[in-house]
Structure 1
Amino acid sequence: MLSSVFIADTSEGFAAAINQAGTLRMQSYRIASSMANGIPGDMPRSGEVTRKLVAEFERRLFSPRIHTVLTKGPSESVTQAYNRVEKRWQWEIHPNLKVYLELTSAAFGERGIAQQIAQQRHYYLSHVDSFVDNIHHFVEALELDAEAQNRQLRLIQLVALMLTLFVALVSIYLTKRTVLNPLKDLLVCARAARRGDFSVRSHHSSEDELGQLGDAFNVMAADLSKLYEGLEARVREKTLNLERSNRSLELLYITAKRFSDSSLSDEVLKSLIHDIEQAMGVRSGTICLGQVGDRQAFRLASTSPVDIERQISGGGDCSRCLGNGETHTFKVDCEGGECVNVFSTAIRDQQQQYGVLLVEFNVEQELEEWQQRLLETVASHIAMAINLSQRVSQNRMLSLLEERSVIARELHDSLAQSLSYLKIQVSRLEKAVSEEQAKDDLLLISGVLRSALNGAYRQLRELLTTFRLRMSEAGLGAALDETVREYRERGGLEIELIDRIANCRFSPNAEIHVIQIIREALSNVIRHANATRALVKIECDMDGIVTILVEDDGVGIGIDEEGDMMQHYGLPIMQERANWLGAELMINEPESGGTRVLLSFSIADSDHTLSHENLIQKISYE
C-alpha cells in the first residue's frame, strides 16, 4: 500500500500536465490565426492581440503544472520531448514572434515594414505545423508515461487485495470468537433496558474491552433504575417551562405583529393589553405616558375599572406609578373593595423613557421572574413603536420642509430673477416715454421686454416640468433615455447617449440633480449652440466616482447681447446643483470647437455636502 501511495503521488499532476500541454497546440494555432486574420488598417491593435496570445503561450509552457511533473523524474522520452519543444520555442519560434510584434508596434504604412511583417508572418505560419507536431509528441510521451505508472499501480493493488482477503478471513474468525458472542450478551441486556427492565445484568466478564463494557453496563443499569424514578417529574417540569416559553414567544410575536401591521392607536394598545391578560393571567393593564418626576401623566390606553384607576393615581398624583424609572411593585388599597397589587415597568428605548406599563393582579398572586422579564420586554417593544412613530412624523415634516425649500430656491433662482429683470426694463420704458425718446428706442426696449417675457414664460414652463419630474422605479438610466429622447425630438439634432452607470446606486436627491444638470446643459445646446450633434456620457467607476460629460459641436460660449443675460442664468443654477452634490463643474470650449460641460462627484459624499447639511440645520432650526 505504501508503494501504491508512492506511485500515486508520482502520477499526481500528469492529468493536469497533459491538459496543459494539449492547450499549447490550440494556443499555437490561435497565434497563427491572429497573425493571419489581423486587421490590415490597424496593425498595432492586431499586434496587441498576438502579444497577449504569445504571453499566454509562454505562461502555459513554463507553468507549474508541467514543471511539477518534470521534477518528479518522469521517463527520458518525456524530458527529451519537453526539451525539444522548449528549445525550439526559445531559439526559433519566440524570436520570430518577437520581431513580428516589434514591427507591428512601429508606425504602420511604410512599404518596407509591411514586407517585413509579411515575411515574419509567413515564417511562423510555415513552421507552426512542425512545432505543433513537437508538442503532440510531448503530450503523447506524457500519456505513455502515465499509463506505465498506472500499470504498476494496478499490479501492486492486486497483490494488496490478496493480502487483504487473507487478513479479512483471519479477522472474521477472531471477531466471531472474541467479539460477536460477548456482543450478543450485551444486546440481550440492551433490549431488556429498552423495555424498562433494568434488572438484567451482563454475564461476560474479562479484562478486555468488551468485559469492561459489560461491567460498565451493569453499573449504568443500576444507576438508571434510580434515575428513572424521578424522570417523569423532570419531564413535567421541562414541559411547563416549555409552555411558558411558548406563551412568551407568542405574546412577543403578537406584539411585534400588531405594531408592524397598524399604527399606534388606542384600539391596538387595548388589544395588546388583552393579550397580556390572557398570556399571564393578570386582571387588567394600563399604558401611561410620562417621565420620572411628573405628577400628571397621560393615559394612552387602559382596561382597568375606573375606581381602581383612581386609587392607582392617588387622586391625580402619578409619581407612585412612575417611580424612579425602575421596575417596581406597589399595593393599592381600595376602600370597600378588593385590593390589588400593581406591577410598574418603564417604557424605555435608548435611555429615553416615554411612560410606564401598569399591570394589576390579585394580592395573593405573585409575578414570577419570567413574567416580569416578559413584561419588561413588551414595554421595550411599546417604546420602540412610540419612537418609530415619532421618527416617521419627523421624517414626513422634514421631507415637506425640504421640498418647500427646493421650490423656493428654484423660484428665486429663475422666475424671480426674470421678474426683477422685467421690472428694470419697465422702468427704462417709463423713463423713455416720459422723456419722449425716439420711437426706435421705445421699440428696442419693447423688444427687450418681449424677449425677457418670453424667457420668463419659458422658465415657468421649465419649472413646471421640473416640479413634475419624478424618478421611476426603473432608475436613473431610464430617466436619461427619456430625457435624451425628449431633447432629440425638441431640437431636431443628433444626441448620442453613453450610459455606463453599471450597478452604482444614487440617492433620490442625487438622481434629480443629475437629471436637471443634464437637462439644463441640453437646453443650452438647443437654444444657443447652433449645433448639429451632441454627446451625453455618464460613467461610474467601482469607487463610486461619477463623471458626466455633455458636449456639442456648436459655436461655443458667448454672452454678447443684453438678452443673453437672461438666457444664460441657467449656468449659475447648474453650479449650485453641482455644489449641492459636492461636485466639480467645468464649462469650457475645447480646441475642436463647441462647448463641453464636465461634472465629477462621489456618490458616497453626495448626500453629505455642506449645502445639504446647511439645509437640514435650517429646517431643524425653523
Structure 2
Amino acid sequence: MKSRSPLVNRIAIVVCAVVLTSIVSMATTLAVSKSIEGNATAINLTGALRMGAFRLLSHVASGQESSVGENNLQNMASQYGLSLRDNNNIARAIPDTEDHPLAKQYQAIQAYWEQTLRPGLENHPPGSFASADIIAATQSYVNSVDQLVSMLERRTEARIGLLHLIQMISLAFSILIIIALFVDLRNRVLKPLRKLVSIANAVSEQDFSHKANLKGSDELAQLGSAFDQMNSELALTYSNLEERARSKTEELEKSHAALQLLHASSRDLFANHDLCSGAVPMLQELEQLLGIGPIRLYLHDKQSAEPVQAVTTASVERPFYCRDHHCNACLVTPEVYDELPIEEHDGRRLLLPIRTPGKLLGTLEVWYPVEKGLSDTARRLLETLSDQLATAIFLEQQITEEQQLTLVEERTVIARELHDSLAQSLSYLKMQVARLRRLGIEGEQKNAHNAILDELSTGLNSAYRQLRELLATFRLKLDTPDLATALRKTIEEFSERLGKPIELIYNLPPQALSPNEEIHTLQIVREGLANAVKHADATEISVEVVFESPQVQARIRDNGKGLPEGGQPVNHYGLIIMQDRARTLGGQVAVQDRNEGGVEVTLTFVPKSRHLIPAEVSNT
C-alpha cells in the first residue's frame, strides 16, 4: 500500500529548498563581491594622491632656483597629472554614469588640478618660499581628495552591508526551512520514533504492555503497527516463561556474588594474620548477601573447657578480645541489635564445625530469621566458608607452633651451653671457696678472711640459684609450649616448695602474647614466687594473670612479712631483674606492701599484638 505523504518525499522537498536557497545566496554574494572588487586598491591609490600633492608643495617650498629644479617640478607635475587621469585602478571604482556623485567628484578633482593647482605650482616664482595662496589651494585640493576617499569608503561599506543583508535573508530563510523541517520531523518522525524506541526498551526489559497506536499511512505508521503486532505475540510467548526467568536470574546473581565473596574471603583470610580484621568485613558482606546474621566464630582452646569467642559481626559492647579500639566494625546500637534474628528475637541457629582432618578447631555460629529460613545455596556457601576458615586457622596455628618450636630449640641450646659452661664454672668457684675455708687462717686477718668468704659464698649461691631457675624455665618451656601450661607447672613446683597449694587465676585470650612476651612474663612470675617462698615467710600465695583490654596484668600476692625498710632484701637483685624484663616488654613492675599484710607484685604491659591501640587508651 502506497503512502500518501511518504517521509522520503518530504525530506527531498526540504533538501531542494535548502539547496535553492544556498545557490541564490551564493550567486548574489558573488555579484556583490564582484562589484566591490578593487575598491580597497582605489582607496589606497586615492589616498596616495594626497601625499603626492604635499610632495609637490614641499618641492616648491624648498626654494630651489636653478633651471634643473624647475624642470624637475614640471616633470613631477606631469607624472602626477598622468596618475590622476589615467589610473585604471581608480577608474574601475568610479561608476560609468556621469551623473553619479563619485564620477562628479572625480571630475571636479581633475578639473581643479588642471585649472588651479597645477598652474599655481608651475607659475610659482623659483627661489621663493610657498605663498599662502598656493598652500590654501593645495589644502583645498587635498580636502577634495579626502572627500573622494570617504565616498569610496561609504560605497564599499554600503555594498558590504548589502552583502550582509543578503546573507541574513538567506540565513533567515534557511532557518525557517529548518524549523519547518524540525516541526515536521518532530511530529511525523521523532515522536513516532520515541514511541517505537520506548516500546523496544520495554521489550528488552520484558514489558510487553506498551502500544504505539500510530495514526497515518507513512512508513513509521506501518512500522508502529508491526511493532504492536509483534509486542502482542511476544507477550503471549513470554507470559509463561517470565517467572522462571526471574527466579533463574536471581539464583545466578546470588551465585555470582557468592563466588566473588569466596574469592575475596580466601585472599583476605590467608593474607591477613589478624582473624578479626580479616573475617568481620567478609562475614558482614555475607550477612547482607544472604539476609542472615549475626555470625560468631568460636575457637576451641585446649586450656579452656568452653569454646572461646574470637569473632562476632554484631555486638553492643566492645568484645573482650578486641585489639583495635579505633575499629567499630562489630559495634551496633541496641536498637539494631534487638532487630537481629537471635534466640530472643525469633531466630534460629546453625552450628557449623571448623575442622581439619582429625582435629576440631572451632565452631561457626550462624543466626537466621525463622520466617525466611536458610536456603540450600546459603547452607553450601556457609559450609565452604567454614572449610576456608578451618584452613586459615590451621595454617596460622601451624606458623605459631613452628615459631614456638624454633624458640624452644634456641633456648634448649642456650640452656645446654649455660649448664656446660657457667654452671660448671660456678661449681668450681664454690669448691675453691670451700678449700679456702679449710685453710684455717689464724691471727688478725681471720675475721676479715671469713667475712670475704661469706660474701663470696652468698653471691655464688645466689647466682647458682638464679641459674638453676633459669635452666628450669628453659626446660619447662621445652615440654610446655604455651604460657598457661607453663604457669600451671610453675605453680605446682612452688606449691611443693611452699608446702601449700598456690591459687592461679588465668584468663588470657588465645595467642594474646608473643613467645618472647610469654618468656618474660613467666620469668617475672617465677621471680615473684621465689621471693614470696624464700624471703617473705608467706603461708598463702596467689597468682593472677588476666587480660584487661588492652593490657595484660600479672599479680603475685602473699601474706608474708612485707618489704624491708630499704625496699629490697640484702644481697638480692631479683626486683632489679624484674624491672629490666618489664621494660623489655614496654611495661612496668610495681612492688608494694598490702594493707592486709604481705607484698603484691604487679606486672602491667600492652602486648605487641595490640600495637593498634594508642598510648592514651593503654594507660587508662
> If the length of structure 1 is used for normalisation, what is the TM-score?
0.29
The one of the two structures with greater contact order (alpha-carbon pairs below 8 A, sep at least 6) is 2
Structure exhibiting the larger radius of gyration computed from Cα positions: 2
